Copies of this chain bind each other. A is one copy, B any other.
Amino acid sequence: MPQDLKTMADAIRVLAMDAVEQANSGHPGMPMGMADVATVLWTKFLKYDATKPDWADRDRFVLSAGHGSMLIYALLHLTGVKGVSMDELKAFRQFGSKTPGHPEFGHTPGVETTTGPLGQGIATSVGMAIAERRLAARFGEDLVDHRTWVIASDGDLMEGVSHEAIHLAGRLKLNRLTVLWDDNNITIDGPLSLSETGDQLARFKAAGWAVKAIDGHDIGQIRRALTWATRQDKPSLIACRTKIGKGSKNMEGHHDTHGKALGKAEVAATRDNLGWPHEQFVVPDEVYRPWRAAGRRGGKLRRAWEQRLAASPARADFERAMKGELPEHAFEALDALIEKAVADKPAAATRQHSGSALDALFGAIPELLGGSADLTGSNNTFVKNTAFFDAPDYAGRYINYGIREHGMAAAMNGMALHGGVIPYGGTFLVFTDYSRPAIRLAALMGVRVIHVGTHDSIGLGEDGPTHQPIEHLAALRAMPNLYVFRPADLVETAECWKAALRLQRSPSVLALSRQKTAPVRTEVIGENLSAHGAYQLKAATGPARVTIFASGTEVPIALAAREKLEAEGIGTRVVSTPCWELFEEQTDRYKAAVIGETEVKVAVEAAARFGWDRFIGPDGVFVGMTGFGASAPFERLYKEFEITAEAVVSAVKAKLED
Contacts and interface: CB of A to CB of B under 8 A. Distances in A.
Contacts of A480: 470-471, 608, 625-628
A457 interface: no
A163 B122 CA distance: 15
User: What number of copies of this chain does the assembly contain?
Assistant: 2
A162 B159 contact: no
A470 B640 CA distance: 35
A374 B96 CA distance: 30
A115 B402 contact: no
Closest 8 pairs between A and B when the two form their complex, measured CB to CB: A160-B160, A195-B402, A100-B631, A163-B163, A95-B632, A116-B466, A202-B206, A613-B613
Interface string A342-363: 0000000000000000000000
Contact of A467 (B102, B194, B475, B479): B102
A203 interface: yes
A359 to B, nearest CB: 19
A116 B478 contact: no
18 contacts: A101-B467, A116-B463, A117-B430, A117-B434, A117-B467, A159-B160, A160-B163, A198-B207, A199-B205, A431-B437, A434-B436, A434-B437, A444-B628, A471-B480, A478-B610, A480-B627, A481-B627, A614-B618
A112 interface: no
B481 A478 contact: no
Contact of A618 (B154, B207, B617): B617
Interface in A140-183: 154-155, 158-164, 167-168, 170-171
A436 B475 CA distance: 11
B198 A478 contact: no
Nearest to A390: B194
Contact of A462 (B25, B117, B402): B25
Given A117-B430, A164-B159, A104 B464 contact: yes
A117 to B, nearest CB: 6
Contacts of A158: 164, 167, 402-404
Given A104-B464, A116-B466, 7 more contacts: A25-B462, A93-B464, A102-B631, A116-B463, A154-B403, A158-B164, A206-B206
A614 B102 CA distance: 35
A631 B478 contact: no
A433 B66 CA distance: 18
Contact of A471 (B463, B479, B608): B479
A116 B618 contact: no
Contacts of A431: 117, 437
Contacts of A636: 94-95
A96 to B, nearest CB: 8
Given A93-B632, A158-B402, A160-B163, A464 B100 contact: yes
A162 B158 CA distance: 11
Contacts of A430: 117
Tell me which of A100, A119, A208 has the highest count of chain B C-beta atoms within 10 A of its own C-beta: A100
A277 to B, nearest CB: 29
A478 B608 contact: yes
A94 B632 contact: yes
A440 interface: yes
Interface string A610-621: 110111011000
Given A164-B159, A444-B466, A101 B631 contact: yes
A171 B188 contact: no
Contacts of A509: none
A197 interface: yes
A500 interface: no
Contacts of A161: 160
A644 to B, nearest CB: 15
B475 A400 contact: no
Nearest to A201: B206
B187 A100 contact: no
A470 B440 CA distance: 11
A529 interface: no
A400 B95 contact: no
Contacts of A477: 610
Contacts of A466: 66, 101-102, 104, 114-117, 441, 444
A171 to B, nearest CB: 5
A118 interface: yes
A190 to B, nearest CB: 8
Contacts of A171: 195-198
Contacts of A66: 466
A456 to B, nearest CB: 15
Nearest to A27: B463
Nearest to A192: B402
Contacts of A614: 613, 618
B195 A203 contact: no
A66 B466 CA distance: 10
Contact of A374 (B195, B463, B478, B632): B195
A26 interface: yes
